[in-house]
Amino acid sequence: MRILVTGGAGYIGSHATLRLLRDGHEVLVIDNLSRGHAGALGAVRRSVANAEARLTFAKIDLLDEAALVPAVSAFDPDAVLHFAAMAYVGESVASPLEYWRVNVAGGVSLLRACAASRGGAGVPRFVFSSTTATYGQPAPHEVPIVETMAQAPINPYGASKLAMERVLRDHAAACSAAGREFSCAFLRYFNVAGCDRAGVLGEHHAPETHLIPTLIQAALGIREHFRGENVVTLYGSDYPTPDGTAIRDYIHVEDLVDAHVRVLAAMSPGRVLAYNLGRGRGSSVKEVVASVERVLGRSVPVKMGPRRAGDPAELTADASLIARELGWSPRVADLDDIVSSACSWFAAHRRGYDV
């Protein structure tokens, strides 16, 4: 297939691009490189045979329809994996207009370009990178979270992702009414972590706010390069959990990408799919710290801080729906294995993709 990957130079998008090329697909990556890295695509090209012939990159902002529409039409994709977005909860609270502009207006711009492609028939498959943040703050009895739970986001990031889900539902309904082929899927991620286990790709954000990479960077003494302090603050020690720290569901990035591949294969005209993606079990903040220390064989400099407003005690996924319908389940099931893949990459790339 010819597959368009937006945000394909970012953390998850680059891992998806690598998998698609390994599977023999032709890929167009569209990324404005505001938060992605050309170095990630360079690593992909070096590691996959004949990648130059099957991987095309276009530096385009999704809001630039004058550039986007001809690029999509020229590639004539069979499917889209849409990863491009802004994805920091705190930043979304401080800059909500930017999140609505990028995540919603940018998504609509992409959808318009897709609808105009293939001689006006439109791209028939669209997989959307959504998030557990669309569910908001579940009550304890609602955990683990199922796809039928009410979606009530409590921050602009989650709200912007839910808005795009609704846009896609409306577009799917309009296509069905007009007799046009279109199927879409919403994949609601829990905490994505780890790196390509072959060592080709990793996770490079600046600033880095995700727990596992911040702990690894602090232990290795490289946090400053990723715009962070070398002592990691752990927020909240008085949650109603076994060790007092918050519990989250961590899924390895390669398992996440594998779910996207399975969803692509399962899509058919008129279907609207929604799946949670997680391991189905949680790990507390203190358990994650202990895992990093075990894998690296050194201590992590941490300090305790107060809870952050809006942080639930526990967020774990019920991912049984995608298991039943598509046969997907995480292959990297052990937390130490997830952490180990990230530790290996950071140890070998102490400045990330920067050279």
Residues known to be catalytic: 157
332: left (phi over 0), alpha (psi -120 to 50) or beta: beta
AA identity, residue 250: Y
The rounded distance, in Å, linking the Cα atoms of 224 and 217 is: 9
Which two structure tokens, joined as six digits, stand for 320? 């049984």
Which two structure tokens, joined as six digits, stand for 85? 């977005």
Helix/strand/coil (H/E/C) assignment for every residue in the chain: CEEEEECCCCHHHHHHHHHHHHCCCEEEEECCCCCCCHHHHHHHHHHCCCHHHHEEEECCCCCCHHHHHHHHHHHCCCEEEECCCCCCHHHHHHCHHHHHHHHHHHHHHHHHHHHHCHHHCCCCEEEEEEEHHHHCCCCHHHCCECCCCCCCCCCHHHHHHHHHHHHHHHHHHHHHHHCCCCEEEEEEECEEECCCCCCCCCCCCCCCCCHHHHHHHHHHCCHHHHCCCCCEEEECCCCCCCCCCCEECEEEHHHHHHHHHHHHHHCCCCCEEEEEECCCCCEEHHHHHHHHHHHHCCCCCEEEECCCCCCCCEECECCHHHHHHHCCCCCCCCHHHHHHHHHHHHHHCCCCCCC
Of 36, 313, 256, 194, the closest CA to residue 44 belongs to 36
Which two structure tokens, joined as six digits, stand for 101? 């502009």
